[in-house]
Amino acid sequence: MRDLLEDSGWMTRLGVFATLFLGMAFFGSGTPTAKIVTAEFPLFLAPFLRLLAAAILTTPLLIAYRKELHEISKSNWLLIAGIGSIGLVAFSLFLMTGMKMVSGVIGAMVMSLSPAAVAVGAAVFLGDRLGPRKLIAVALSVSGVVIINLSGESLQAQSLSTMVLGSLLVFGAVCSATAYSLFAKKATKQVRPVLLIPLAAWIATLLFAIPGLYQAANFDFSQPTLEHWIALLWWGIGPFGIGTMLWFAGLARVRASIASGFMGVMPASGLVVSYVWLGDPFYWIHVMGFAFVLGGILMVAWAHQVGEKRAKEKGKEFSGYSTYPC
């Protein structure tokens, strides 16, 4: 893909880079925010309300491009359904269950495995070349998560078995987000992202409707505090609604290697929100774990850069896979 910023001024470049930065920052904030939501809202009601908010927010896009709905093929409808069911429904259930067991810091670091997971998923299911750089990226990212999980400070806060189970459940959310990213990459070749987002949101909302409304009938809506309601609203419109639109807008303007570099904002955002909003304690071991994870993300970006160069030399278009906010 040609970088559309090559002939643009510095203000335009700055605007696009800010778009990518904010898209990943919003995505990164979602994991610790889910930790707050799980404290007061039931398992099915929370994601139902979250996705309903995101669906309503993005419905104007659906209305604006409604004439293109009939052009969506059956195969792309299946991809969109996959995004809604696996990338949003399964993602929400895994994340909410897992975040009950781990801290915001650990959850944010596990979720930061997404870029490496997408690289592996693209290789396994779509025949994308993994290569040594992406293998190193996987090793660095996993090492960073292990360092934080097995640090003395983390083990003092909770039992090892609980932390491992919670981390595995959050990793289930990572796998769901990987499916989202792979499905979205294929679907957006023919479907506008501004159509894909509300369609997937409404599909997921409908799938959550029956269990969500059942729990709503027995839920005391006066119980959650204002903070919990703000967290729920942000979890819906921030990471998935606004974050996804910003990320897609940025991806349309730059090469995959440039966009991939901004994925490093995701774990940084998750850590900041965990420290500031959740009040998680800071330990220097977190810096080491973050450095490993960031190194893995930058290795993915480097792999994309090399892939673009090779594709250009062969006169082909490079097709890189990146994480999509959900």
**What CA–CA distance (Å, rounded) separates 280 from 106?**
10
- Domain of residue 290: give its range: 10-313
**What CA–CA distance (Å, rounded) separates 219 from 214?**
9
So what's the pLDDT on residue 165?
A: 94
- Written as one string, the DSSP assignment of 63-101 is HHTGGGGGG--HHHHHHHHHIIIIIIIIHHHHHHHHHTT
- The residue with tokens 């910003």 is 246
Q: Mean pLDDT, 10 residues at a time, over the chain (326 residues)?
A: 56 87 95 96 97 94 94 96 97 97 93 92 86 92 86 64 92 96 90 93 98 97 97 94 88 79 91 95 90 92 83 72 68
Rounded to the nearest angstrom, the gap between the alpha carbon of residue 43 and the centroid of all alpha carbons in its chain is: 19
Residue 3 included in any domain? no
So what's the pLDDT on residue 127?
A: 82
Residue 206 included in any domain? yes
Find the DSSP H helices in the chain.
Answer: 10-38, 45-64, 74-82, 91-99, 104-111, 114-126, 131-149, 152-157, 160-187, 193-217, 226-235, 243-251, 256-261, 265-273, 284-313
Residue 166 included in any domain? yes
**What CA–CA distance (Å, rounded) separates 312 from 259?**
18
Token output for 310: 């090779």
Nearest to 293 by CA among 154, 158, 107: 107
Residue 321 included in any domain? no
Residue 322 included in any domain? no
Residue 65 included in any domain? yes
Q: How far is CA 116 from CA 60, 192, 300, 323, in A?
A: 34, 26, 7, 9
How many independent structural domains does the chain possess? 1
**What CA–CA distance (Å, rounded) separates 221 from 218?**
9
**What CA–CA distance (Å, rounded) separates 190 from 212?**
33
So what's the pLDDT on residue 1?
A: 46
Amino acid at 79: L
- Residue 70, sorted as left (phi over 0), alpha (psi -120 to 50) or beta, turns out to be alpha
Residue 325 included in any domain? no
So what's the pLDDT on residue 199?
A: 97
Indicate the SS3 state at residue 6.
coil
So what's the pLDDT on residue 157?
A: 59
So what's the pLDDT on residue 183?
A: 94
So what's the pLDDT on residue 309?
A: 83
Give the pTM. Answer: 0.91
**What CA–CA distance (Å, rounded) separates 258 from 252?**
12
- The residue with tokens 């369609």 is 199
**What CA–CA distance (Å, rounded) separates 241 from 291?**
29
Measured over the CA atoms of residue 147, residue 148, residue 152 and residue 158, the dihedral's sign is: negative
Residue 320 included in any domain? no
